[in-house]
Amino acid sequence: MYSCINGATTMPYTLEQDLEAAGKAGFDAVEIWSRKLDTYLQDHDTTELKARLDAHGLRAASLCPYGLVGFSDNSNELDSIERASGVAAAIDCPVLLVCADAPPDDMDRDEAFDTMAATARTYAERAATHGVKIAIEPLGRHPFIPGPREALEVIARAKHDSLGLMVDFFHYYKSGVPLDDIRAIPTELLLIVHVDDCEDLPPADLTDQHRVYMGEGVLPLKEMMGVLREKGYAGALSVEIFREAYWEKDPMEISVAAKAAYDRMMAG
């Protein structure tokens, strides 16, 4: 496993600032936030971006987030996936991270899974032409994909080798995902992991703003990390913390604090 920081953790700052801070803080990798990427590419190209990553001793673990839109027109999202896959390939980034929409309330659940699987397959086909994979992100208490069981059902029906999923400690805690469900994820399908912690509130009341650095909240980090180690997971552990109080600090201070929390978690 290797250290990574997500661009949401330093949300107010530019991609250039993110990369500089991540490199100086000692991270191995970054997840590049899609909005920051789009802004950067207005005045730069992928060759410059790859050189900047290399200069800071970083690799790109994912580009994120993108919408996995199965229940309304998705032409814009497919165009975004096509463009992002090309960028990812150019900078040796293996994964695009996607978040699903939800079916209409009156849609049969079996039909909904088939519909989303068809969409996921189309996304995977687009990404695969560039040698890139799609990771589905379950979201806390999402009406359709709140945990890995649902994501794995979509993947099984889609039947494409470029599809996988991810684990986010916060979202899985909010959805009440048991450790055995994480244990049951085929390791080859686990493409990235988000690490974080959260305040002591009822899961239903938690929002992204309740995330805190690892070790400062109530998540069973030791147990979650134990499952990942059991599984032989060897990918990125990416610190993703949406918290406005943190965002008020400069990106270097945020990144140093995030790396210190990461190091404590790994030693625990």
Residue closest to 140 by CA, chosen among 15, 265, 242: 242
Asked if residue 32 has pLDDT above 90, the reply is: yes
The mean pLDDT value for 263-267 works out to: 98
The rounded distance, in Å, linking the Cα atoms of 46 and 84 is 11
Give the domain 2-267 fold: TIM Barrel (3.20.20)
For helices 251-267 and 15-25, the axis angle rounded to 10 degrees is 40
155, containing H or E segment: helix 148-158
Confidence of residue 117 (pLDDT cuts 50, 70, 90): very high
- 87-115 pLDDT, tens digit per residue, is 999 999 999 999 999 999 999 999 999 99
The mean pLDDT value for 63-85 works out to: 98
Largest Cα separation within the chain, whole Å, is 52
Fill in the DSSP letter of residue 92. Answer: T
Per the prediction, the chain carries an average pLDDT of 98
Give residue 211's pLDDT: 98
Give residue 13's pLDDT: 99
Give residue 268's pLDDT: 84
The rounded distance, in Å, linking the Cα atoms of 67 and 173 is 22
The rounded distance, in Å, linking the Cα atoms of 1 and 163 is 20
Please, are residues 5 and 239 in contact by the beta-carbon 8 Å criterion?
A: yes
- 147-179 pLDDT, tens digit per residue, is 999 999 999 999 999 999 999 999 999 999 999
- 6-22 pLDDT, tens digit per residue, is 999 999 999 999 999 99
